[in-house]
């Protein structure tokens, strides 16, 4: 949904992404289910509040609102920021301390050149066929956010997935409790409220699909993060043998408090 808005603003980039969408039909289906699920989860959570006690509602409603706020800010930040594109400007900026060349023995060592964009290709960088640029520690191109996921915006991608996962399963569980409560323990008449009941079931089905899709992405991301691998490196069977603690610091940073409370760019 966020990606679709950004594509409408950037028409030239949108043409590239439409080609990408046609090429990968499975992503199109998954993203459609995911978007509908994100819209449905707010409805289902509101419905689910009817099955909560007053004391439980007092804590869960602010917690859900906090998760929603964190998800939106992190997703927008991830979609709008530079993921780590390797251009002449970034190469000139890094010429002194050269973090992109840290794994080479000296600054005079030859750095491989990308055959597509013709820029130097540092270690762990890969070329994105959609954006037509190399990205530092490239993970994948996310059509949902309409941006690459790389070294700069990976923490926001991880965080947005975590909060989306939390919201979706929280809303779904209380929606189910609410439906059971209304149909079994009260005089809720399904025949009289058949339209409302149908809408609630339909939104829950959409959200369930989105929840399963998001859970798959989230747990895969967690697994690869603590292995110190990107998605591209996993497919190419490249493993740097990082310890989980070192991999966490490399991919997500050292500040645990930021991970919980900070929004926007670090």
Q: What is the pLDDT of residues 218-228, one digit of tens each?
A: 999 999 998 98
The 10s digit of each residue's pLDDT in 73-123 is: 888 888 888 888 887 766 665 554 445 444 444 445 566 777 787 777 778
The candidate with the shortest Cα–Cα distance to 181, out of 92, 83, 56, 266, is 56
Q: How confident is the model at residue 196 (pLDDT cuts 50, 70, 90)?
A: low
Quick check: is 253 in a domain?
yes
- Please say whether the beta carbons of 67 and 160 come within 8 A: no
Residues in Cβ contact with 232 at an 8 Å cutoff, skipping those fewer than 6 apart: 126, 138, 139, 140
* CA 201 – CA 204 distance, rounded (Å): 5
Query: Mean pLDDT over residues 196-208, rounded?
Result: 73
Query: Mean pLDDT over residues 194-209, rounded?
Result: 72
For residue 117, indicate whether it is catalytic: no
pLDDT at 258 over 80: no
Tell me the Ramachandran region of residue 228: left when phi exceeds 0, alpha when psi lies from -120 to 50, beta otherwise: left
- Residue 22: its pLDDT value, please? 34
Quick check: is 15 in a domain?
yes
The region of weakest confidence among 14-18, 32-36, 80-84, 87-91 is 14-18
pLDDT at 183 over 60: no
Q: How many domains does the chain have?
A: 1
Q: How confident is the model at residue 9 (pLDDT cuts 50, 70, 90)?
A: very low
The candidate with the shortest Cα–Cα distance to 155, out of 46, 70, 62, 41, is 70
For the chain, give the mean pLDDT. Answer: 73
Most confident of the ranges 20-24, 105-109, 121-125, 146-150: 146-150
Quick check: is 251 in a domain?
yes
Cβ burial of 62 (10 Å; 0-12, 13-18, 19+) is: exposed
- Please say whether the beta carbons of 175 and 44 come within 8 A: yes
Task: Quickly list H helices, 128-255.
Answer: 154-184, 194-227, 231-235, 244-252
- Please say whether the beta carbons of 37 and 211 come within 8 A: yes
Quick check: is 163 in a domain?
yes
Long-range contacts of 126-132 (CB under 8 A, 24+ apart): 126/230, 126/232, 129/20, 130/16, 130/17, 130/20, 131/16, 131/85, 132/16
Residues in Cβ contact with 16 at an 8 Å cutoff, skipping those fewer than 6 apart: 130, 131, 132
Q: Which of 128, 131, 142, 148 is catalytic?
A: 142
- Residue 143: its pLDDT value, please? 80
Q: Taking the model in full, what pTM does it have?
A: 0.75
What range defines the domain where residue 244 resides? 2-82+151-261
The region of weakest confidence among 39-48, 61-70, 90-99, 161-170 is 90-99
Taking CA atoms, 114 is separated from 10, 234, 261, in Å, by: 26, 20, 38
* CA 114 – CA 195 distance, rounded (Å): 57
pLDDT at 166 over 60: yes
């Amino acid at each position: 949904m966020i990606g679709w808005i950004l594509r409408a603003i950037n028409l030239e980039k949108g043409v590239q992404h439409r080609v990408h969408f046609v090429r990968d039909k499975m992503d199109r289906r998954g993203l459609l289910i995911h978007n509908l699920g994100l819209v449905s989860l707010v409805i289902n959570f509101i419905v689910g509040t009817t099955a909560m006690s007053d004391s439980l509602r007092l804590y869960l409603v602010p917690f859900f609102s906090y998760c929603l706020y964190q998800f939106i800010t992190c997703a927008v930040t991830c979609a709008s920021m530079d993921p780590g594109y390797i251009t002449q400007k970034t190469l000139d900026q890094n010429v002194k301390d050269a973090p992109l060349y840290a794994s080479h023995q000296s600054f005079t060592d030859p750095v491989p050149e990308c055959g597509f964009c013709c820029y130097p290709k540092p270690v762990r960088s890969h070329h994105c066929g959609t954006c037509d640029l190399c990205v530092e520690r490239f993970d994948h191109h996310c059509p949902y956010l309409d941006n690459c996921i790389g070294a700069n915006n990976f923490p926001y991608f991880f965080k947005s997935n975590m909060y989306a996962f939390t919201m979706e399963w929280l809303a779904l569980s209380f929606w189910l409790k609410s439906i059971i409560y209304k149909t079994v323990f009260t005089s809720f008449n399904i025949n009289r409220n058949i339209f409302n009941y149908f809408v609630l079931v339909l939104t829950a089905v959409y959200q369930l699909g989105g929840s399963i899709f998001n859970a798959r992405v989230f747990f895969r991301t967690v697994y690869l993060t603590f292995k110190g691998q990107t998605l591209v490196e996993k497919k190419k069977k490249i493993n740097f043998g990082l310890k989980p603690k070192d991999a966490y610091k490399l991919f997500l940073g050292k500040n645990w408090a930021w991970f919980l409370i900070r929004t926007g760019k670090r």
